[in-house]
């Protein structure tokens, strides 16, 4: 049987109230008493019950994180940083992979609410999930607009799209293709807007390929394959994430295209993982750790009841990492 607070008190020779005061760091307790309680806890292998404590403090110290999938290196690294920061602040994390499925996301949201999380960080889409907007729920979104009121933290997507497109133009590309996710899901994506604006300014025609099921590798490859038959003249590719860019590079090699001589490629994200396996990829690097820090900062303020004093959108600076694909 698991030891109880009374067992600790008996072994330490103090009252259960004293044990509870030691655990919650309340009131004056001599060092000698504190040591006795901690010794008894160690001997009995006793761990305080966080669930019981949360009933008393009205805080669960739990943060829910909903990501599309942590198999994508961007979301994997983002989750790593979020969890790390949460742990350093004494928060535990409940992690949910929604796979961009509305039903799954709704169920996870309900589950998080039932577990009385103190706040939620969302890196996925909402498509009509209104629960996020209810009550004074502390929610911060990363890269997606959930509502008029929920704060969004992202990198400067417009600037990133502009930088990528301008680089390809500067390098002499005449037919620049954009490989992107589905527009409706990616409402906060200004990358596409910047690509279109920049090309139109240069009197060039945008050519956009949309990948509807971003986590279906086969679908992704099929769509990328179409670029070679429908636009064999394409000599520049801006992929709005590095995974799309990597898939394109594999296909281009199969088609005997030389990179960067025949076609130049710019990706987006610049995760450590992709930089390790594909260091030659020119990409727009997102400040992932900073995004995580900023999202948690805002969430903590919301948890403290502050819902008005921060901007709806926080855009963090991107940087260009130039490799040999351009
Ligand atoms: O790679 C995943 C993409 O979706 C990233 O570019 C990120 O910004 C996210 O929203």
Output the domain CATH number for residue 253: 3.40.50.2300
Task: Kindly state whether residue 74 falls inside one of the protein's structural domains.
Answer: yes
The DSSP element (H or E) to which 5 belongs, if any, is: helix 5-12
Q: Are residues 169 and 248 in the same domain?
A: yes
Q: How many domains does the chain have?
A: 3
Task: Kindly state whether residue 54 falls inside one of the protein's structural domains.
Answer: no
Domain of 22 in residue numbering reads as 5-48
Q: Are residues 33 and 68 in the same domain?
A: no
Q: In whole angstroms, what is the distance from residue 56 CA to residue 50 CA?
A: 10
More confident residue, 131 or 88: 88
**CATH number of the domain residue 37 falls in:** 1.10.260.40
Q: Which tens digit of pLDDT belongs to each residue from 224-249?
A: 999 999 999 999 999 999 999 999 99
Q: Ligand 1: distance of its center to the CA of 52 in Å? A: 38
Place of tokens 């926080």: 314
Q: Ligand 1: distance of its center to the CA of 207 in Å? A: 20
Q: Are residues 165 and 205 in the same domain?
A: yes
Q: Are residues 251 and 134 in the same domain?
A: no
Cβ(209) to ligand 1 under 6 A? no
Q: Are residues 98 and 190 in the same domain?
A: no
Q: Are residues 283 and 162 in the same domain?
A: yes
Half-sphere exposure in the Cβ direction for 63 (13 Å, CA): 28
Task: Kindly state whether residue 53 falls inside one of the protein's structural domains.
Answer: no
Cβ(180) to ligand 1 under 6 A? no
Q: Which tens digit of pLDDT belongs to each residue from 76-118?
A: 999 999 999 999 999 999 999 988 788 888 899 889 989 999 9
Task: Kindly state whether residue 325 falls inside one of the protein's structural domains.
Answer: no
Q: Are residues 188 and 296 in the same domain?
A: no
Given the CA of residue 74, which atom of ligand 1 is nearest to it? 1
Residue nearest to atom 7 of ligand 1 (CA): 74
Task: Kindly state whether residue 231 falls inside one of the protein's structural domains.
Answer: yes
On the question of pLDDT at 56 being above 90, the answer is no
Q: Are residues 274 and 126 in the same domain?
A: no
Q: In whole angstroms, what is the distance from residue 80 CA to residue 68 CA?
A: 14
Residues above pLDDT 70, as percent of the chain: 94
Query: Distance of CA 180 to CAs 195, 199, 209, 233, 296, Å?
Result: 11, 16, 6, 19, 28
- Residue 38 makes CB contacts below 8 A (sequence gap 6+) with 22
Task: Kindly state whether residue 326 falls inside one of the protein's structural domains.
Answer: no
Task: Kindly state whether residue 181 falls inside one of the protein's structural domains.
Answer: yes
Cβ(271) to ligand 1 under 6 A? no
Q: Are residues 145 and 216 in the same domain?
A: no
State residue 129's pLDDT score.
59
Task: Kindly state whether residue 84 falls inside one of the protein's structural domains.
Answer: yes
Give the angle 123-127-131 at the CA atoms, nearest 5°.
Answer: 80
User: Are the C-beta atoms of 86 and 64 separated by less than 8 Å?
Assistant: no
Q: Are residues 283 and 165 in the same domain?
A: yes
On the question of pLDDT at 125 being above 80, the answer is no
Residue nearest to atom 8 of ligand 1 (CA): 143
Mean pLDDT of the chain: 91
Cβ(74) to ligand 1 under 6 A? yes
User: Are the C-beta atoms of 276 and 69 separated by less than 8 Å?
Assistant: no
Cβ(195) to ligand 1 under 6 A? no
Q: Ligand 1: distance of its center to the CA of 21 in Å? A: 46
On the question of pLDDT at 198 being above 60, the answer is yes
- Residue 27 makes CB contacts below 8 A (sequence gap 6+) with 21
Query: Ligand 1 pocket: which of 98, 121, 123, 143 to mutate (most atoms <8 Å of CB)?
Result: 143
State residue 287's pLDDT score.
98
Cβ(157) to ligand 1 under 6 A? no
Q: Are residues 127 and 87 in the same domain?
A: yes
Q: Ligand 1: distance of its center to the CA of 74 in Å? A: 6
State residue 326's pLDDT score.
97
State residue 188's pLDDT score.
56
Given the CA of residue 143, which atom of ligand 1 is nearest to it? 10
15-29, 179-193, 236-250, 298-312: least confidently modelled range: 179-193
Q: Are residues 303 and 222 in the same domain?
A: no
Given the CA of residue 242, which atom of ligand 1 is nearest to it? 1
């Amino acid at each position: 049987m698991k030891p109880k607070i009374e067992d600790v008190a008996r072994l330490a020779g103090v009252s259960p109230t004293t044990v509870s005061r030691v655990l919650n760091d309340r009131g004056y307790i001599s060092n000698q008493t504190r040591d006795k309680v901690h010794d008894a806890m160690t001997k009995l292998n006793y761990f305080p019950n966080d669930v019981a404590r949360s009933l008393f403090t009205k805080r669960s110290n739990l943060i829910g994180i909903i990501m599309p999938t942590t198999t994508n290196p961007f979301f994997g690294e983002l989750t790593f940083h979020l969890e790390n920061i949460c742990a350093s602040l004494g928060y535990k994390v409940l992690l949910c992979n929604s796979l961009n499925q509305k039903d799954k996301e709704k169920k996870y949201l309900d589950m998080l609410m039932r577990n009385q999380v103190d706040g939620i960080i969302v890196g996925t889409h909402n498509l009509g999930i209104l629960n996020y907007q209810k009550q004074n729920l502390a929610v911060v979104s990363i890269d997606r607009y959930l509502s008029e009121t929920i704060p969004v933290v992202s990198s400067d997507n417009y600037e990133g799209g502009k930088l990528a497109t301008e680089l390809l133009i500067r390098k002499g590309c005449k037919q620049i293709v954009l490989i992107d996710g589905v527009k409706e899901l990616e409402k906060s994506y200004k990358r596409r807007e910047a690509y279109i604006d920049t090309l139109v300014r240069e009197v060039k025609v945008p050519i956009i390929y949309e990948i509807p099921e971003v986590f279906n590798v086969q679908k992704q490859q099929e769509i990328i394959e179409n670029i070679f038959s429908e636009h064999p003249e394409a000599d520049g590719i801006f992929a709005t994430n590095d995974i799309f860019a990597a898939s394109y590079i594999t296909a281009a090699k199969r088609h005997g295209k030389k990179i960067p001589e025949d076609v130049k490629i710019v990706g987006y994200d610049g995760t450590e993982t992709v930089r390790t396996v594909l260091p030659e990829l020119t990409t727009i690097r997102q400040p992932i750790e900073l995004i995580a820090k900023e999202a948690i900062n805002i969430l903590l303020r919301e948890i403290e009841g502050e819902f008005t004093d921060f901007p709806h959108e926080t855009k963090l600076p991107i940087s260009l990492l130039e490799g040999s694909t351009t």
